């Protein structure tokens, strides 16, 4: 499979909207019930790129196969070295070919350069593919919250997984802006 990984741009918003939107009607990928509009995704790309990587995998025809981005774990200052991530492949993108793992590697490499310490994944607890995927990357499960959300007529649980990407030793510097570590 021929593809490249690059930083997202504003005009990827439609593809990101459509990929995520394909999973919104399902019960095991996301707790989102109404897919935000394309403009919301455009703003999300722009805002994310100030502090976190937002990467897309694109095939040789320019089709977006999947994407990954970071967001704050919690709003308070002392949490700033933690990143919650979202990673999604298009429903028709080839699976089990290593695309998501390749996205992860570039994502984590950039985060580490910025000075972030931990990546958190929050999964619907019935998403077995995502659970196995996280474990394959070395994430550990650190929490299982039952009945965390109500969607499609049923209470559903979530799992929290975490992976350390930097050292926890010593006093950390404030994470660098994305523009300080990538061109
Ligand atoms: C989960 C997802 C991101 C995995 O993407 P992918 O490109 O197929 O993953 P990779 O090929 O990099 O897989 C790496 C490893 O993860 C594990 N894995 C991935 N998908 C799996 C599945 N369906 N079942 C079991 N293990 C799986 C395997 O260990 C795999 O290695 P292997 O294929 O050599 O056995 C993709 O299936 C997806 O986007 N699903 C829908 C959206 C979603 O659930 N996103 C995560 C929300 S938290």
pLDDT in tens, 75-85: 999 999 999 99
**Is there a contact between 61 and 45 (Cβ–Cβ < 8 Å)?**
no
Q: Tell me the CATH number at 42.
A: 3.40.630.30
The residues lining ligand 1, judged by C-beta closer than 6 Å to any ligand atom, are 23, 29, 87-89, 95-101, 121, 123, 127, 129-130, 132-133, 136
Q: pLDDT band at residue 105, thresholds of 50, 70 and 90?
A: very high
| Overall number of domains in the chain | 1
Residue 36 sits in which domain range?
3-180
Burial of 18 (0-12, 13-18, 19+ CB in 10 A): middle
Report the pLDDT averaged over residues 110-132.
97
Distance CA 112, CA 177 (A): 12
Distance CA 56, CA 152 (A): 30
Structure token digits, residue 107: 């994502």
Q: Tell me how crowded residue 69 is: count the other CB atoms within 10 A of its CB.
A: 23
Distance CA 130, CA 145 (A): 16
Residue 112: pLDDT above 80? Answer: yes
Distance CA 180, CA 164 (A): 22
Distance CA 146, CA 107 (A): 29
The three-point CA angle 116-105-178 to 5° equals 45
pLDDT given at position 1: 82
On average, the pLDDT of the chain sits at 97
Distance CA 162, CA 92 (A): 28
Give, using CA atoms, the residue closest to atom 15 of ligand 1: 133
26, 96, 135, 158, best to mutate for ligand 1 pocket (most atoms within 8 Å of CB):
96
């Amino acid at each position: 499979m021929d593809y490249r990984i690059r930083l997202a741009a504003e005009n990827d918003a439609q593809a990101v909207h459509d990929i995520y939107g394909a999973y919104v009607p399902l019960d095991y990928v996301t707790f989102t019930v109404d897919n935000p509009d394309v403009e919301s995704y455009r703003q999300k790309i722009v805002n994310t790129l100030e502090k976190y990587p937002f990467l897309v995998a694109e095939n040789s025809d320019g089709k977006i196969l999947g994407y990954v981005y970071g967001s704050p774990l919690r709003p308070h200052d002392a949490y700033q070295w933690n990143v919650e991530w979202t990673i999604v492949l298009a429903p028709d993108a080839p699976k089990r070919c290593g695309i998501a793992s390749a996205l992860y590697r570039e994502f984590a490499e950039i985060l580490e350069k910025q000075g972030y310490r931990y990546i958190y994944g929050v999964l619907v607890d019935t998403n077995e593919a995502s659970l196995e995927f996280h474990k394959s990357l070395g994430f550990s499960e650190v929490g299982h919250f039952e009945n965390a959300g109500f969607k499609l007529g049923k209470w559903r649980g979530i799992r929290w997984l975490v992976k350390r990407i930097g050292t926890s030793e010593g006093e950390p510097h404030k994470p660098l802006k994305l523009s300080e570590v990538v061109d």
